[in-house]
Chains A and B, each alone.
Chain A
């Protein structure tokens, strides 16, 4: 399976990157944007999907400061 792991700053923890992006958008004329958060996207082919949660907890995310979400991604098509 090709998995897609989304890693986000934990709710309630100050996300200065999100704030910086949120403040930059109006400078380009984009209004009405709020609650911007910046995280990470990791995509990987895995044989044993039961290991994904452990991978997230031990390396891909730091559960103390980040939430993660494991999704199925479209299969990887070599360029």
Chain B
């Protein structure tokens, strides 16, 4: 199976995401100016500062040529993962509900956090256990997940809250939300950088579990 990692101008975790995916399956970079997903099975929109975060985080990247193909892929049920800035892009693209706002404490955050798995009925969490704790780093200024109260209630009801910060909420996110999915579960966005938790030299290898889950769904394992 093959992962495709989207590369925007200003992406900075694309190579790390590629490295992480390559530990699990085949992986290649997909340039934002192209329109072809090259037959990849899972699309990863990585972290960074796409288009310099101009106007609003994720706002411009959402209109790149490749994103048209990503939107079509995701709406057709293709497993699609957004990490940090990628999460922001998927929200701006309307593939995920809500938006990311500046951290409640205003400051840039860079720290290891614990996340609790809330829903295991998504391609990315199917190999995990409910209430399992994943240790991954966050590094962001605009990571406060927000959705209107009525939308949050619907999301909770439909299992769209996939990951919650366990213990301290680092950024003021609504309902301690660290990661959400769309209604169908195939589009998943999270602020923690799973690609920085995949190697023995990292603090944790928990991030790998999310990619292994997605790969297993593709290969039928």
User: Measuring CB to CB, which residues of chain A are less than 8 angstroms from any residue of chain B?
Assistant: 13-14, 16-17, 19-20, 40, 59-60, 62, 64-65
Q: Are B102 and A17 in contact (CB under 8 A)?
A: yes
Which residues on B sit within 8 Å (CB–CB) of A13?
101, 146
Which residues on B sit within 8 Å (CB–CB) of A40?
55
Q: Which of B55, B103, B146, B172 contacts A65 (CB 8 A)?
A: B146
In the A-B complex, the 4 residue pairs with the smallest Cβ-Cβ separation, listed nearest first, are A16-B106, A65-B99, A20-B106, A64-B99
CB distance from B181 to the nearest CB of A (A): 18
Q: Name the residue on A nearest B172 (C-beta).
A: A14
Chain B 81-108 residues near chain A, CB threshold 8 A: 92, 98-99, 101-106
Q: Name the residue on B nearest A20 (C-beta).
A: B106
Q: Are B92 and A62 in contact (CB under 8 A)?
A: yes
Q: How far apart are the CA atoms of A20 and B103 in the complex, in Å?
A: 12
Q: How far apart are the CA atoms of A13 and B147 in the complex, in Å?
A: 10
> What are 26 A-to-B residue pairs whose CB atoms are below 8 Å?
A13-B146, A14-B101, A14-B104, A14-B172, A16-B102, A16-B103, A16-B105, A16-B106, A16-B172, A17-B102, A17-B106, A19-B106, A20-B106, A40-B55, A59-B55, A60-B55, A62-B59, A62-B92, A62-B99, A64-B98, A64-B99, A64-B146, A64-B147, A64-B148, A65-B99, A65-B101
B contacts with A: majority SS: loop
- Band of interface residues on B: 10 to 19
Chain B 199-220 residues near chain A, CB threshold 8 A: none
Task: With a 10 A CB-CB cut-off, give which of B56, B104, B144 has the most chain A CB atoms.
Answer: B56
Q: Name the residue on A nearest B147 (C-beta).
A: A64
Which residues on A sit within 8 Å (CB–CB) of B92?
62
Hey, what's the 0/1 contact readout for B141-158 against A, CB within 8 Å counting as 1? 000101110000000000
Q: Are B59 and A59 in contact (CB under 8 A)?
A: yes
